């Protein structure tokens, strides 16, 4: 199964690396608009007046979430960013306000500093390398978001949203028992709700 996952990941990430700056900008704006609307709907579904929303800080050719972060903060949502400490272990989420300084974490990711309060978000936006319409995502191979969602969902209801370009959709993501299903996927073209 690892070889299949590696091949899928290689193909979709190679395509993602070819996205032009203009396409990336348009996709980021669409994500900001559609993501903001989805957070409002998800908050109503969770019956949560002031949901805490985790959004990843983009790296490499990931779909840019910074306009979404700005839009959420402008609407008064509490935004958190994930903090990674170990592979295959749950993420920590720390408060972030646009304009805050970020520090380089142990894996080279831009993260809020340890001084920022830790939270358990109600809504989690997740990066990925591939996804399918059954609700499964293929990450980067560390099992981090699966461990994170498992831990969060043991505490409360959490809505998980995968973020990707539409071409990252595949017919079938190979799964293992620990894989967590997501509730939605957002691409530059559509919102996919998982029944």
Split the chain (195 residues) into runs of 10 and give each run's mean pLDDT. Answer: 88 98 98 98 94 96 98 97 89 96 89 95 98 97 93 97 98 94 98 94
- Sorted by where each starts, the structural domains of the chain and their CATH numbers stand as 2-193 (3.40.50.10420)
Specify the pTM. 0.96
pLDDT of residue 69: 98
Distance between CA 106 and CA 84 in Å, rounded?
A: 8
pLDDT of residue 85: 85
Closest listed residue to residue 137, CA positions, set 112, 111, 162:
162
pLDDT of residue 1: 59
pLDDT of residue 27: 98
Question: pLDDT, tens digit, for every residue of 55-80?
Answer: 999 999 999 999 999 999 999 999 99
């Amino acid at each position: 199964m690892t070889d299949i996952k590696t091949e899928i990941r290689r193909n979709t990430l190679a395509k993602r690396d070819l996205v032009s700056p203009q396409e990336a900008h348009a996709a980021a704006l669409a994500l900001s608009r559609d993501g903001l609307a989805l957070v409002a709907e998800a908050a109503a579904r969770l019956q949560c007046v002031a949901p805490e929303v985790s959004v990843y800080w983009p790296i490499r050719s990931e779909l840019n979430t910074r306009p979404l972060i700005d839009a959420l903060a402008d609407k008064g949502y509490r935004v958190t960013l994930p903090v990674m400490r170990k592979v295959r272990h749950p993420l920590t989420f720390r408060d972030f306000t646009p304009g805050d300084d970020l520090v380089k974490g142990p894996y080279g990711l831009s993260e809020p500093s340890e001084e920022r309060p830790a939270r358990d978000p109600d809504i989690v936006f997740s990066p990925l390398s591939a996804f399918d319409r059954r609700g499964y995502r293929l990450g980067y191979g560390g099992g981090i978001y699966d461990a994170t969602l498992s831990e969060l969902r043991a505490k409360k209801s959490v809505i998980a949203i995968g973020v990707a370009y539409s071409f990252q959709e595949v017919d079938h993501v190979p799964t293992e028992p620990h894989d967590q299903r997501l509730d939605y996927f957002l691409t530059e073209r559509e919102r996919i709700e998982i029944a």
